[in-house]
Structure 1
Amino acid sequence: MSNESDQNIIPSHKFQCESLAQVQYIRISRDDEGQRLDNFLIRHLKKVPKSRIYNLLRRSEVRINKSRKKAEYKLQTNDILRLPPVRVESKPKSCTDEAANEAFAARLKEWVIYEDNKLLVINKPPSLAVHGGSGIHLGLIELIRRHFQHAKNWELVHRLDRETSGLIMIAKRRSELRRLHQAFRDNTVHKEYWAILVGDLKQDKHRVTAPLKKNQLAGGARIVRVDPTGQDAETLFEVQGRTPGYTWVLAKPVTGRTHQIRVHSQSLGSPILGDDKYTDQSDNAKAKKAGYSGLMLHARRLTIPMDDKPNLILTAAPPTNMAKWLENKHNVDPQTF
């Protein structure tokens, strides 16, 4: 690699982005193997805007083993990553307000469903994005990293839409992240959701296999449609209860496409109540007037394979909007949540 000696190459597990005033070379360690190049850069270059990172990749200023690589390139052990000089923010964004830290820690403690030295599982409230992005400065993972110094390398294992509530996994170690990603590929992680659908599903069970394709509207909003040229997708629906004009279902996504449950339920003619993208706004307005606002989709149960242990099975109570619906419409005792 170039003219650099090994002593100037930093192992990726020791790399800290304190300054990018000069070219740096990083040797990819085993713990970072399999990670996308863009995700690795975003994780380590926290002071660099994402737009700048993707600009560096498009202009081929970031090299792997002296070669150009795309953002989706999967890092390999002993790859040599070359980082060019990059201007970074002079002041790191960190929270030093002790009262704010304590307040967030108290809220997070209420959300925790399971925790060990490798994994954290929380019951995410609705309206909280899992990560920052378009128009969102801080999401769940950024808030955790910002308030807890020991959590700076924690990573989301999977994602939930901003308005979807329920169980989400956060890996505390890179090895655990890799293990769980492999479990998803092996289809040994199982997710189950509760949803309130608009309309009356006649059958008790439905299997939807409509392929899904992402589209972008003129205003830049992301939307997903059923499309024969899209990605394969499969969702199982099981009716849990019925009330006039609505159906309470258990949804089991076999695949993990963007907005999968939301679009598959729409394809049945029964979109999810409160969905501002896929449900008629008059239906949402009617529910809101009756005191039920927000997306009625909740990640209720997770089955997680564990090393040398029985599967970990976790459940999370629904948020206020859905709990109120189930109690009033289906006579479900809140104590059973």
Structure 2
Amino acid sequence: MSQNSSSKQPQNAGPKLEHQQPSQSRPVVEWVQVSADAAGQRIDNFLLARLKGVPRSRVYRLLRSGEVRVNKGRARPSQRLAAGDQVRLPPLRRPEQGETVSPSAQLRERLADALLYEDDRVLVINKPAGLAVHGGSGINLGVIETLRAMRPGAELELVHRLDRDTSGCLLISKRRSALRRLHALLRDGEVDKRYLALLCGRLTRAELEVTAALSTNRVRGGERVVRVDTAAGKPSRTWFRKQRNLGPFTLVEAKLDTGRTHQIRVHAAHLGAAVAGDPKYGDPADNERLKRVGLKRLFLHAATLSFRARDDGPQVQVTAPLPEALEVVLMRLEEDTWIEAQ
């Protein structure tokens, strides 16, 4: 990403100390001028890209506390930047060159083999379950840090995110212009994302729409928990379409019209049919039963992704095959071996 750091302090910005650039020995305040390439970007994404190596949770704490300023005013994580904006970064120690964690050869090979689609603007990775999309909160490396290490100098950015325990299609931009376009498409509902999920329960109809509003809360330890909140939650919509019944379980296709945190998982639990293997919103008894037929993870897979990366380009549809471990679970449920495992 192209960003311009300015050693000039904006007029009336504060004490002389803020003219200084960060040093390795003593972090100081830094002023950054937003370039035309970064215009339209959310402040949280701008910071995450600029403060590489700083935990994501730390970046959001800086925003919530008001330590990050845009043109001398407090910034919300969702605020979008304009060219020429002055962003104040507080004194912050960043990992030094020697502290950078390099991805292992095994992880590099794993992601190289997971490439599903690539053109001059984007790439799509079949993200493995258990691998975070980015580092932070105790995680040294995620998908994006590994890809950047594999492609030094490339302007790689996450277009959207998947939960750590979710596998499947993950879209990465290779250009700032592509990132802006795809974020606009996401806001307008023009990126089609479909998931396969195994639900612990039977659906009452072949197709169900869930529109329960959702809000995100933080509990002890900073863990995020999402709840249905009709009063203060954000509008959310998920379509569940039944694929087949498997004993007391149902394989469904889930289509997102919005992209809230944990949306499919919370909406499924709201129906009374939580996603299989979900330790946060699911039923421990159901999860224990499913372990006996081989389910060792969340049964949620981003199966297809459809988008148009440029106005004059074709519609791109990418499919990530269901992981073998989940196929085995379906086969065992189809054969009713879950009954023998009781």
Q: Shorter-normalised TM-score: what interval?
A: 0.7 to 0.9
Whether contact under 8 Å (2:247, 2:333) holds in the other structure is no
For the structure 1 residues 83 and 286, does the alpha-carbon distance in structure 2 shift closer, same or farther, using more than 3 Å as the test?
closer
The CA deviation string for residues 73-99 of structure 1, in whole angstroms up to 9 with x for no partner, is: 3210122334566444333444668xx
Cα distance in 2 between the residues matched to 1:298 and 1:141: 19
Could you tell me which residue of structure 2 aligns to residue 68 of structure 1?
73
Could you tell me which residue of structure 2 aligns to residue 197 of structure 1?
199
Gap runs ≥5 in structure 1:
1-5, 11-18, 332-337
**Secondary structure class of the residue paired with 1:309:** coil
| Pairwise CA distance, 1:143 | 2.1
Could you tell me which residue of structure 1 aligns to residue 177 of structure 2?
175
Moved more, 320-329 or 246-255: 320-329
Could you tell me which residue of structure 2 aligns to residue 144 of structure 1?
147
Q: Are 1:292 and 2:287 an aligned pair?
A: no
**Secondary structure class of the residue paired with 1:46:** coil
Correspondence 1:81-230 to 2 at 5 A: 81-83=87-89, 86-94=92-100, 100-101=104-105, 103-151=106-154, 153-229=155-231, 230=233
Could you tell me which residue of structure 2 aligns to residue 14 of structure 1?
none
Whether contact under 8 Å (2:182, 2:309) holds in the other structure is no
Q: Are 1:78 and 2:78 an aligned pair?
A: no
**Secondary structure class of the residue paired with 1:150:** coil
| Pairwise CA distance, 1:58 | 6.2
Cα distance in 1 between the residues matched to 2:66 and 2:294: 53
Number of equivalences:
313
The one-letter code of the counterpart of 2:272 is: G
**Secondary structure class of the residue paired with 2:308:** strand
State which of 26, 33, 36 in structure 1 corresponds to 2:39.
Answer: 33
Cα distance in 1 between the residues matched to 2:330 and 2:301: 12
The one-letter code of the counterpart of 1:69 is: R
**Secondary structure class of the residue paired with 1:89:** coil
The CA deviation string for residues 272-324 of structure 1, in whole angstroms up to 9 with x for no partner, is: 11000111111111110222221111000111123212210111011233121
Whether contact under 8 Å (1:296, 1:321) holds in the other structure is no
State which of 253, 260, 263 in structure 2 corresponds to 1:260.
Answer: 263
The one-letter code of the counterpart of 1:79 is: D
**Secondary structure class of the residue paired with 2:164:** coil
Could you tell me which residue of structure 1 aligns to residue 323 of structure 2?
319
Cα distance in 2 between the residues matched to 1:278 and 1:52: 26
Cα distance in 1 between the residues matched to 2:193 and 2:249: 23
The CA deviation string for residues 146-176 of structure 1, in whole angstroms up to 9 with x for no partner, is: 343234x311100111111110101111111
**Secondary structure class of the residue paired with 2:322:** coil
Gap runs ≥5 in structure 2:
10-20, 336-342
Could you tell me which residue of structure 2 aligns to residue 272 of structure 1?
275
Whether contact under 8 Å (2:201, 2:273) holds in the other structure is yes
The one-letter code of the counterpart of 1:70 is: A
| Pairwise CA distance, 1:210 | 1.1
The one-letter code of the counterpart of 2:36 is: R
Whether contact under 8 Å (1:36, 1:71) holds in the other structure is no
Moved more, 173-182 or 74-83: 74-83
Percent identity of the aligned residues?
44
**Secondary structure class of the residue paired with 1:123:** strand
Cα distance in 2 between the residues matched to 1:76 and 1:43: 16
| Pairwise CA distance, 1:222 | 1.7
For the structure 1 residues 213 and 143, does the alpha-carbon distance in structure 2 shift closer, same or farther, using more than 3 Å as the test?
same
Cα distance in 1 between the residues matched to 2:57 and 2:210: 37
Could you tell me which residue of structure 1 aligns to residue 245 of structure 2?
242
For the structure 1 residues 147 and 92, does the alpha-carbon distance in structure 2 shift closer, same or farther, using more than 3 Å as the test?
farther
Q: Are 1:44 and 2:50 an aligned pair?
A: yes
Cα distance in 2 between the residues matched to 1:328 and 1:289: 10
Cα distance in 2 between the residues matched to 1:233 and 1:247: 22
